[in-house]
């Protein structure tokens, strides 16, 4: 298999709210925007947001969403500060194996920053 590019598709109940969060709050560049589907830059791949998902008012359980979107960042502290300036709540957790910043998107999906 000769893979050209990899991507993640995230189905959203509140598509416009999710698009605003990922593009404005997280700062992902929008490659293509449509009424029900948008494609954003995601490192060397892409994140597609598409309508017709199911949102949760709180973090989804692993049974509801067994996937975590993780951003490995060059400067963890700067990344956390930048997101907080944009109004994003980041819960920093320290473990023996490293530090992560947990963010919950408006749909209840878990996102992590990792240094």
Whether residue 89 lies inside any domain: the answer is yes
CA 113 to chain centre: 10
Residue 107 lies in a domain: yes
Q: How far apart are CA 62 and CA 13, in angstroms?
A: 18
Tokens 């709180």 sit on residue: 58
Q: What is the bridge-based pairing of β-strands 91-95 and 37-42?
A: unpaired
Q: Does a structural domain hold residue 11?
A: yes
What CATH number is attached to the domain comprising 58?
3.10.180.10
Residue positions counted in the chain: 115
pLDDT of the residue at 115: 87
Domain limits for position 79: 7-114
Residue 80 in any domain: the answer is: yes
Q: Is position 85 within any domain? A: yes
- pLDDT tens digits along 9-52: 999 999 999 999 999 999 999 999 999 999 999 988 999 999 99
CB 4 within 8 A of CB 46: no
Instruction: Please state the domain count of the chain.
Output: 1
Does 1 map to a domain? no
């Amino acid at each position: 298999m000769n893979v050209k590019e990899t991507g993640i598709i995230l189905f959203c109940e509140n598509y416009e709210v999710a698009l605003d969060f990922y593009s404005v709050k997280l700062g992902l560049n929008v490659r293509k925007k449509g009424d029900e589907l948008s494609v954003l830059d995601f490192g060397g791949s892409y994140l597609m947001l598409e309508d017709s998902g199911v949102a949760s008012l709180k973090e989804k359980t692993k049974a509801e969403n067994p996937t975590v979107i993780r951003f490995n960042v060059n400067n963890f502290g700067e990344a956390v500060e930048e997101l907080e300036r944009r109004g994003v709540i980041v819960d920093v957790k320290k473990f023996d194996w490293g530090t992560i910043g947990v963010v919950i998107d408006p749909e209840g999906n878990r996102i992590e920053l990792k240094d």
